[in-house]
Structure 1
Amino acid sequence: MDVKKQANKIAHMFKSRDPFEIVRGLNVILVHYPLDGVRGFYQYFQRNNIIYLDERLSDPEQHFVLAHELGHMFLHKKANAIFMDTRTQLNGARYEREADLFAMELLLPDDLLSEYREMGYSIDQISRVTGYDKRLIKLKLN
């Protein structure tokens, strides 16, 4: 599956790259709660899409984590990450990387990234301007 294509399709469908608007348009159940050990997680339960989000996160962190969890929803709906994490030896790193990439494709479109690059911004500067970790900027660029 082409992660970039999926993220752009969703952004086009909802005419927005704001994960909160997308969640509202999808009737996803969004639960704000003080989570320990995780910043958020996605659950598909009784034909309902539920995203739990740590209410103590800053706004930029909430946007990223929500976009990341939307990535799980669109890319890994049938994968039970909690079960895989706690009951199997399977490595969920691939799923996490894909969800990170989905979030970056959704939140940081190519034209905006190109604009920063044309202005001569380094990865460090793009990271500071956008509020996204350098690792995530590099993931998007690769």
Structure 2
Amino acid sequence: MDIPNIVRTIVEKCETRNPFRIIEQLGVILIYYPLEGVNGFYQYFQRNNIIYIDDHLSEHEAFFVCAHELGHMLMHKKSNAMFLDSRSHLNTCKYEMEANRFAVNLLISDRDLREYLDYTTDQLSSLFGCSKKMIELRMKDFV
């Protein structure tokens, strides 16, 4: 799956990297709710795209979760990952990794990374407010 191209396409279409603005433009229903055990999830129900975000998350955390769930919506629309994970015990790691890649590619552009090429992974993690693991994941798609 060409995740950088999917990100590029949606950014060009919506003219923003802000996941909340993107889902608003796409007519996605956003629900903040006290979720237990998950930070958020995506649901396709009766031809509606719905993103749920735990209402206890910080603004920064909610931003990442929104981008992650947007990735599920664009790449895994027909898959109910929560159902797969909790009911069938299938490994959903691939879907989660793809959604994480989508989120960090959306939130951190190649231009952002070029500006800080001399930074270490730890410094980039601090600068962009994501885990070192997410920075490493983003660097794999850096052009």
Q: Pick the TM interval, shorter chain.
A: over 0.9
**Deviations, residues 104-136 of structure 1 (Å, cap 9, x unaligned):** 11100111011111xx21110111111111100
Is it true that 1:41 corresponds to 2:41 in the alignment? Answer: yes
The residue that corresponds to 1:17 in the other structure is 17
In 1: Cα distance, 2:34 partner to 2:90 partner = 27
Segments ≥4 residues shifted beyond 3 Å: none
**Deviations, residues 51-79 of structure 1 (Å, cap 9, x unaligned):** 00011111111111000000000000011
TM-score normalized by the length of structure 2: 0.95
Q: How does 1:28-107 map to 2 (within 5 A)?
A: 28-107=28-107
SS of 2:52 mapped into structure 1: strand
* Structure 2 unpaired stretches of 5+: none
**Deviations, residues 19-69 of structure 1 (Å, cap 9, x unaligned):** 010011011000011111000000000000000001111111111100000
SS of 2:41 mapped into structure 1: strand
The residue that corresponds to 1:139 in the other structure is 137
In 1: Cα distance, 2:89 partner to 2:68 partner = 23
Letter in 2 for 1:128: S
Aligned length: 140
The residue that corresponds to 1:27 in the other structure is 27
In 1: Cα distance, 2:39 partner to 2:14 partner = 25
* Structure 1 unpaired stretches of 5+: none
In 1: Cα distance, 2:87 partner to 2:36 partner = 19
TM-score normalized by the length of structure 1: 0.96
Let me know the Cα RMSD of the aligned residues: 0.8
Letter in 2 for 1:80: N
SS of 1:44 mapped into structure 2: strand
